[in-house]
Amino acid sequence: MDYDVIIIGGGVIGCCIARTLSKFDLNIALLEKEADIASGTTKANSGVVHAGFASPREYIKRDMCIAGNKLYTQAVEELNFPFQRIGSFVVALEDNQINKLEEQRKQGTQDGVAGLEVILDKARIKHMEPNLTEEVVGVLHAPSAGIVSPYEMTYALAENAAMNGVKFFRNQRVRKIKHQNYTYTIKTKEKEFKANNVINAAGVYGAKISKMVGLDYFSIMPRKGEYMLFDRNAMHLNKILFPTPTQVSKGILVCPTVSGNTFVGPNAQNISDKKDIATTAAGLKEILEGGTKLVPNLPLRAAIRNFAGLRAVPDTYDFIIDNTDVYGFINVVGILSPGLTSCYAIAERVVDFLELLGVNTKVKEDYNPKRPKPEKFKDFSKKELDDKIKEDPAWGRIICRCETIPEKEILNAIHSPVGANTLDGIKFRCRPGMGRCQGGFCRPRLIEILSRELNIPYEEVVKMGEDTNFLVAKTKEIVLHKLKGDVEE
C-alpha cells in the first residue's frame, strides 16, 4: 500500500503528529525501530509541562512551549492521560537572583504566560511548599506549569491515532530512503514502505534520517540527564521546584510525579554515544548536591531507581521544524526540552506544512478524538470492585503487590491498540515493576502472562527488544544439552 504520510519515530513527537493527522482522510503509517513506542527520550525525562517563560525569546521553542502548554487542557479531556497542573517555583536563594525572576515574570507575562507572580513573602512561600529550604529568598510562581506521565500520554496518543486508522509498525528500523518521482521508498530490514510525504521524528537519530535524503544541514549531540527516583509517598511535594537558571541549563529540579513519587535531576552532560543511558556515581552526586539546595530533607533511604535520558541537542539549540527543500520531506528534530510540552503545537505546525504541500487536510466525518480512560483497580470503590471481580476474576488477581496491579489491567495493556509486547511495555503502561521491589516479585508472573497472551514461548519474552530476554531455556533442557555436549560449560 502507498501511504500519504509516513512518520519515522514513535516518540511523543511522532505519536502526537500521528494522532493529529489521524483526523484527516489520509493513509498514515508510523515506523519505530524499537520493539515498542516511547522507548527513546520520551521514556526518560522530567515530565514537566513547562509554563514557557524559560527559553530565550528568539527561539521558536519558546513560542511552541507557551502554545503547547495551553493545548494540554483539551488533550487531557480527549485522551485521558495523567496530568496535573500543580504549578512551579523558580527558587532564588540569593537576593541578587530576584532580578532574574522579575525579568522572567515580565517577559513571560508579555508573551502570554498566565498568572506569573514573584513571591517574596517567605511565610507564604513555605505555606505553599513546606519542603522548600529555609534559605529561600523568593520564588517565581507559574501556576500553569504541570506534571504529566510522558509515556502514558504517548501511549494515549498512539492508541487514539490507531483507533482513527494510523498503522503502527514496530521493530522497523529505517535503513534507507529513496526519493523518486515524488514517491519515497523506505527500507527496513524486512519491509519496504512507500509514501508521498515523510516526517522525520527520529529524536537523537534525526540527522542520520535526514542525511538519507541528502539533507545534511544540522547535527545532533546527545546530552545526558541523570535522575534519582524516590518511592511513592516518601515525600509529598506541592510544586515543581527549579533553581534560578544559569546560561546553560534550567538546573537540577526536585519534582513530584503524577504517580506520587518524587525525583531529583537531571544534570546535563554532553556525550558521544547515542545509546549511553547509564547513570554514574559522579552524576548522582551532582544531582543530589543540586537537589538538596532546594529540598534539604530528600528521602534518600526511599530511593528506588536511578535512570538517565538523552536530550537531542541540535547545533542551533532550537527546535528544527522544517518543510525542507526535498519536496514532501519534513524534519521535526532537535526537539530538546521543552519538547514534551510543545508537542501539540509542533504537530499543528506540521499540519500547516502538509497543507502547503497540497495534502488533504479536511477532517473526516468519523474522526473520534476520544480515547477512553484505562480502567484502574485503584480508581474503583469497594462495591465497583466487587462487581468487576464478579464480571471477570482477573480484576481480583493481584500481580504487582507494590503498586496493586491486577491481572486485568495487564491484559488490557497487552490488548489495547498498539498494545504492550514487552515487559517494559507493560510496566510503563500500567506500572507493575515500578514499585519498591522493582519487579522482583511480579516479573515471573508477567513473563507467564505475556507468553500466554502473545502465544510465544517464555524464552521469547523480552524486557525491551532484541537480546533482552530473561529466560534462555528450561533448566533441565540445558542440563541435557550439556550432557550431549551441545552447550559449553
Ligand X SMILES: Cc1cc2nc3c(=O)[nH]c(=O)nc-3n(C[C@H](O)[C@H](O)[C@H](O)COP(=O)(O)OP(=O)(O)OC[C@H]3O[C@@H](n4cnc5c(N)ncnc54)[C@H](O)[C@@H]3O)c2cc1C
Q: Which residues are catalytic?
A: 50
The site string for ligand X over 67-106 (x = CB under 6 A, - otherwise) reads ----------------------------------------
Nearest to 349 by CA among 24, 66, 20, 62: 20
Among 39, 200, 257, 324, binds ligand X (CB under 6 A): 39
What distance in Å separates the CA atoms of residue 241 and residue 254, rounded to the nearest whole number?
5
Taking the complex as a whole, how short is the minimal distance between the CB of residue 39 and ligand X, in angstroms? 5
Among 19, 23, 33, 443, binds ligand X (CB under 6 A): 33
Q: 245 or 396, CB closer to ligand X?
A: 245
Q: 309 or 433, CB closer to ligand X?
A: 309
Q: What's the one-letter identity of residue 268? A: A
Please name the residue that has the C-alpha cell 515523510. 198
46 binds ligand X (CB under 6 A): yes
Q: How many residues bind ligand X (CB under 6 A)?
A: 39
Count CB atoms within 10 A of the CB of residue 412.
Answer: 18
Taking the complex as a whole, how short is the minimal distance between the CB of residue 67 and ligand X, in angstroms? 13
31 binds ligand X (CB under 6 A): yes
Q: 50 or 105, CB closer to ligand X?
A: 50
137 Cβ neighbours under 8 A, 6+ residues apart: 92, 93, 94, 95, 97, 98, 120, 122
Among 6, 8, 142, 156, binds ligand X (CB under 6 A): 8
Nearest to 418 by CA among 79, 161, 80, 172: 161
9 binds ligand X (CB under 6 A): yes
Taking the complex as a whole, how short is the minimal distance between the CB of residue 309 and ligand X, in angstroms? 4
Among 5, 6, 7, 12, binds ligand X (CB under 6 A): 12
The site string for ligand X over 324-363 (x = CB under 6 A, - otherwise) reads -----------xxxxxxx----------------------
Subset of 202-261 contacting ligand X (CB under 6 A):
202-203, 205, 209, 225
What distance in Å separates the CA atoms of residue 366 and residue 76, rounded to the nearest whole number?
21
Applying CB under 6 A, which residues contact ligand X?
8-14, 31-34, 39-42, 45-48, 50, 173-174, 201-203, 205, 209, 225, 266, 309-311, 335-341
